Amino acid sequence: MKIAVLPGDGIGPEIVRQAVKVLERLKADGHAVVIETAPIGGAGYDAAGDPLPEATLALAKSADAVLLGAVGGPKYDTLDRPLRPEQGLLRIRQALGLFTNLRPALVYEELADASSLRPELVAGLDLMILRELTGDIYFGQPRGRRALVNGEREGFDTMKYSESEIRRIAHAGFAIARKRGKKLCSVDKANVLDTSILWREVVNEVAKEYPDVALSHMYVDNAAMQLVRAPKQFDVIVTGNMFGDILSDEASMLTGSIGMLPSASLDAAGKGLYEPIHGSAPDIAGRDVANPLATILSVAMMLRYTFSDEGAASRIEAAVRRVLRDGVRTADIAKPGEATVGTERMGDAVVAALSAHR
Ligand code: IPM
Ligand code: MG
């Protein structure tokens, strides 16, 4: 298991350090883990003048899986777009062909009252959002700026999806739904956008190969509303890059704790990049307060989706649950007045729970 570790910026290095402890624990238990680290994002810019240095991409390509912390920080906000930390992330997704982005929103029993929604609306929520990650308005050409005849500036981007791009993410959606509650909701804006009309057509064609999965379609504005009205109606949502970006942030907050949510971005062969859903949180970086659980749970996803090691994946998830059950809390998931631990101690608690239950 050759794993490229890209800590990135802000809280990235400290949360990734905890996830690496977990990997080292697995190694001590006999897993063939090999770890190599490289800079990305602002750290890439600082080290090599590029948010995705060539050596980092080469390492990521040669690895079986990539573990990423987070990128970005105020220090880099004034750089030109191609040099900004986010570009490192967008470019590595595209260069590795990571078109399937899995973003689970899972409510832990112990944390159900952390949600901003009433506990009965979210208790037991287990939702998976599949976001297409390498197409759409994020990457569509042409894009840019031009001057209008009247001298006004105009900015423009292109939303587009080819049939094959829609087909492969639809297949991924049905395949995941089949392994879960067998319900897939495809989200688009087919009442307005041509891209979405084709999206819906192709998803319907692919559906014929999955008669056991119940497919529904929903407009994105309605989906945004339904997610906060009755989120438990969903099992798996599949959608494009832009809508998925927005809906997955919304869904993460249903759980009340963005610091808990991992993600996986996979290519056609199951190679993947794993990262927490949250950002680099520069305001709390280096203070040992960030929650490392989303990154640790990303390692569990890595074991499940790239290394097909369900045993090790569940073992990590069980260790996280045990730590939560024992009342160990970082500040973001603590109730007012509850005692909290820092990043390092949360990492240590998970490793201890792993060690106690082989
Ligand atoms: C995400 C982030 C990124 C995105 C940014 C940082 C480029 O918001 O992973 O959801 O828009 O994809
Ligand atoms: Mg986002």
Q: What is the CATH number of domain 116-132+158-255?
A: 3.40.50.2300
Mutate-to-test residue for ligand 1 from 77, 86, 249, highest number of ligand atoms within 8 A of CB: 86
Counting ligands in written order, the one closest to the CA of 263 is 1
Residue ranges per domain, the chain?
A: 1-107+263-358, 116-132+158-255
Annotated active-site residue 245? The verdict is yes
Annotated active-site residue 221? The verdict is yes
Superfamily the domain 1-107+263-358 falls into:
Isopropylmalate Dehydrogenase (3.40.718.10)
pTM as predicted: 0.93
Q: What pLDDT, on the 0 to 100 scale, is given for residue 356?
A: 85
Cα-to-centroid distance, 90 and ligand 1 (Å): 8
CB of 305 closer than 8 Å to CB of 125: no
Q: What pLDDT, on the 0 to 100 scale, is given for residue 358?
A: 64
CB of 246 closer than 8 Å to CB of 187: no
**Series of mean pLDDT values for 10-residue runs along the chain (358 residues):** 97 98 95 96 97 98 97 95 94 96 92 85 94 96 96 97 98 95 98 98 98 98 97 97 95 86 94 94 96 97 95 96 95 91 98 87
How many other CB atoms sit within 10 Å of the CB of residue 124? 10
Is residue 142 reached through a cis peptide bond, with omega within 30 degrees of 0 on the bond before it? yes
Q: Is the CB of 86 under 6 A from ligand 1?
A: yes
- From the CA of 71, give the closest atom in ligand 1: 6
Q: What pLDDT, on the 0 to 100 scale, is given for residue 115?
A: 83
Annotated active-site residue 189? The verdict is yes
Counting ligands in written order, the one closest to the CA of 277 is 1
Q: What pLDDT, on the 0 to 100 scale, is given for residue 100?
A: 97
Q: Is the CB of 250 under 6 A from ligand 1?
A: no
Q: What are phi and psi of 206, to 5 degrees?
A: -65, -35
Out of 45, 76, 108, 138, the active site residue is 138
Long-range contacts of 355-358 (CB under 8 A, 24+ apart): 355/25, 357/315, 357/318, 357/319, 357/322, 358/29
* Length in residues, the chain: 358
The amino acid occupying position 61 is: K
Residue ranges near ligand 2 (ion) with Cβ within 5 Å:
245
The amino acid occupying position 193 is: L
Annotated active-site residue 64? The verdict is no
Q: How far apart are CA 299 and CA 275, in angstroms?
A: 8
Using DSSP bridges, classify how beta strands 126-132 and 144-147 pair: parallel, antiparallel or unpaired: unpaired
Annotated active-site residue 235? The verdict is no
Cα-to-centroid distance, 128 and ligand 1 (Å): 17
Out of 46, 194, 249, 326, the active site residue is 249
